[in-house]
Amino acid sequence: MTFGAAIKSGFTKYATFSGRAARSEYWWFFLFLLLGNMIAGVVDFALFGSSVTTSTDTSVAIQAQSDGPFAAIFALATFIPHLALGWRRMHDSGRSGLYLFFPFLITLGVLTVLAIDAGMTSLLFGGTGPFYSSITGILALIAIFLMILSPFMVLYWLTRPSQPGTNDYGPNPAEVTT
């Protein structure tokens, strides 16, 4: 699939969460999103941006800021197509599209457990007791590791080759003739 065909397919199947999407379709559309966000950010900065330059005898620091609407509009317009395409890409590698939410669910679960643990420790010990500092510290380290690892797992799943033949989600897009 070409760059243009991937963009057309991404917007044609705007909210289609069924079926499969080949690796080329997903990654060409991802490149379009990356380039589109960069261009929208440059336009935002050119029209609405400001910069502050701070200099000393030994260094110069430049801080740029943009509050323009173009990057936000582009992100909102492409959120659903990107989600749907990622969903179909997961289907193509034989996984449920729900696996895209793996990092979010890990983070939500970890924060919930840590909040409950902190609340229980406060309730039982009247503050942060020794239990909170040792066990929760170990749990927090494991949780941070999982939260860092989970997006890389999704990236790994998105790069997996297509399952040959038909799977539970439909025929292989590379093998379908139009």
For 120-170, how does the pLDDT look when each residue is reduced to its tens digit (9 = 90+)?
Answer: 666 666 665 555 567 777 877 888 898 899 999 999 999 999 888 888 898
* Domain annotation covers residue 176: no
pLDDT for 8: 94
- CA gap 5, 32 in Å, rounded: 11
* Domain annotation covers residue 18: yes
pLDDT for 92: 93
Asked which of 48, 70, 92 is the last residue of a domain, the reply is 92
* Domain annotation covers residue 79: yes
Find out whether 90 and 169 touch, Cβ atoms under 8 Å.
Answer: no
pLDDT for 56: 80
3-class state of residue 2 by DSSP: coil
Asked which of 35, 67, 92 is the last residue of a domain, the reply is 92
Q: Are residues 77 and 114 in the same domain?
A: no
- Which parts of the chain register pLDDT below 70? 64, 119-133, 177-178
> What are 170's two structure tokens?
């439909």
pLDDT for 88: 94
SS percent in the chain: helix, strand, coil, step 5? 65, 10, 25
Q: Are residues 51 and 102 in the same domain?
A: no
pLDDT for 112: 84
* Domain annotation covers residue 101: yes
pLDDT for 101: 92
pLDDT for 21: 92
Q: Are residues 66 and 100 in the same domain?
A: no
pLDDT for 130: 53
Tell me the torsion sign for CA atoms 35, 150, 22, 8: negative
Q: Are residues 131 and 83 in the same domain?
A: no
Q: Are residues 117 and 127 in the same domain?
A: yes
Find out whether 25 and 10 touch, Cβ atoms under 8 Å.
Answer: yes
Query: What's the total number of domains in the chain?
Result: 2
Asked which of 45, 71, 92 is the last residue of a domain, the reply is 92
Q: What backbone phi and psi angles, to 5 degrees, belong to 64? A: -110, 145
Q: Are residues 79 and 1 in the same domain?
A: yes
Domain span including residue 51: 1-92
* Domain annotation covers residue 30: yes
Q: Are residues 87 and 15 in the same domain?
A: yes
Helices 130-158, 102-125: inter-axial angle, 10-degree rounding: 180
Q: Are residues 45 and 104 in the same domain?
A: no
pLDDT for 54: 78
Tell me the torsion sign for CA atoms 171, 18, 14, 79: negative
Q: Which of 133, 108, 138, 111 is closest to 121 using CA atoms? A: 133
Q: Are residues 145 and 165 in the same domain?
A: yes
Q: Are residues 101 and 163 in the same domain?
A: yes
